[in-house]
Homo-oligomer: A and B are copies of this chain.
C-alpha cells in the first residue's frame, strides 16, 4: 500500500471525529472556524509531500510557532536560554499562572504561553521586535522552502486586543525581572508569531528537519545541530500539548506540538514530519480529529518512538 493510500485510510478511519470538539472561543477569527475542516499532510525524507483533505488552506499557526521561535532562540543563546525558562512539563492547564508564582516568574518550559513569552523576549534581545520577527519569518520560510509565508497582521492585532490573560502572564514574568524588553514589545512579537499563516503542507515541510536530526534531508542544510534537534523533540514529547501532553505521548508516541487553531505537527524521526489541521478541540485544547488521525497513522506505520 502506498503511503498516500495509508493517509487516505487514516482520514477515512477517523471521519466520525470530524466536526467534533469545540473551537477556541476567545478570538473571533478562531471562534468562526469551520470544525468540519480536516487536513493531513506528511513530508517524508525524500522531500515528497502527501496530503489528504484541507491541506492547502492557511490558518494561523498559533502555538506551533513556539517550536520555530525556540529553535531560533537556541541558535542565538545556546544553553544560556535555560537560565530564563525550565524544561519540565507544566502539570497544569494552559496559561495557569499558579506555577509561575510558585516558581518565581521562571516558566516551566518554552512550549507554554508563559515560556514562549520568555523565549520571544530572548530572541528579540537588543533588537527591535520587528527585526527579530523578520528573522523568524525568514527562518520559517527557509525551512518550508516557501517565501510567501507571512503574518496575518489583522489577526495579530485582534489577538493582542483580546489577550488579557497573556498580557497578565507577561507582566507577571516582568515583575520577577525575567523580561529584558518592554512587555508590549514582547507581546507584539508574541502575537505576530502566533498569527503566521500557513497550510498543513507548509508546516509539515517546515518541521521536516526535526525528523532528520536537525538537517533538512532535501536541501542538505543543517538547520540546527543534532543535539539541539533531539532536545526540541524531547520538549515537544513531554510538553507539546498543554495538559494532555502525557496522553498524546501515550496514544500517539511521537514528539509534536498542538495549537488552539487546531493544528498539530508531529515528528517521526527518520521518517518524516506530519501536520494535521482540524479546528475542533478537545477539553485540553488539542485538535480532536487531528490527534485521532495521528494515533491511527502511527498504528499503521509503526512510527512510534517507543518501539
Contacts and interface: CB of A to CB of B under 8 A. Distances in A.
Interface of A: 86-92, 96-99, 101-102, 108-109, 164-165, 167-172, 174-175, 183, 213, 226, 229-231, 233-235, 237-239, 243-247, 249-250, 253, 255, 269-270, 304-307
A88 B246 contact: yes
A174 B161 CA distance: 12
Sorted nearest first, the 7 A-B pairs with minimum C-beta distance are A91-B91, A89-B89, A168-B171, A233-B306, A164-B175, A88-B246, A165-B175
Nearest to A98: B98
A243 B247 CA distance: 18
Chain A interface main SS type:
helix
A101 B94 CA distance: 12
Contacts of A246: 86-89, 108-109, 234-235, 238-239
Contact of A250 (B97, B99, B235): B235
Nearest to A165: B175
Contacts of A230: 253, 304, 306-307
Contact of A87 (B98, B213, B250): B250
Contacts of A99: 91
A29 to B, nearest CB: 18
B306 A255 contact: yes
A60 to B, nearest CB: 20
Given A91-B88, A238-B89, A306-B234, A164 B168 contact: no
A231 B239 CA distance: 16
Given A238-B245, A249-B234, A270 B307 contact: yes
Nearest to A233: B306
Given A88-B89, A88-B244, A171-B171, 12 more contacts: A88-B91, A88-B243, A89-B238, A97-B101, A164-B175, A165-B172, A229-B307, A230-B253, A230-B304, A237-B238, A238-B250, A255-B306
A152 B92 CA distance: 37
Nearest to A232: B306
A165 B305 CA distance: 36
Nearest to A102: B98
A163 to B, nearest CB: 8
Nearest to A89: B89
A170 B169 CA distance: 11
Contact of A169 (B168, B249, B270): B168
Contacts of A172: 97, 164-165, 168, 172
Among A96, A102, A168, A237, chain B packs the most CB atoms within 10 A around the CB of A168
A97 B172 CA distance: 9
Contact of A305 (B98, B108, B171, B269): B269
A175 B168 contact: yes
B91 A101 contact: no
27 contacts: A86-B246, A87-B246, A87-B247, A88-B91, A88-B246, A88-B247, A89-B238, A89-B246, A90-B91, A91-B92, A91-B108, A97-B97, A97-B172, A98-B102, A164-B175, A165-B175, A168-B168, A168-B172, A168-B174, A229-B307, A230-B304, A231-B250, A231-B306, A233-B307, A234-B249, A237-B237, A238-B250
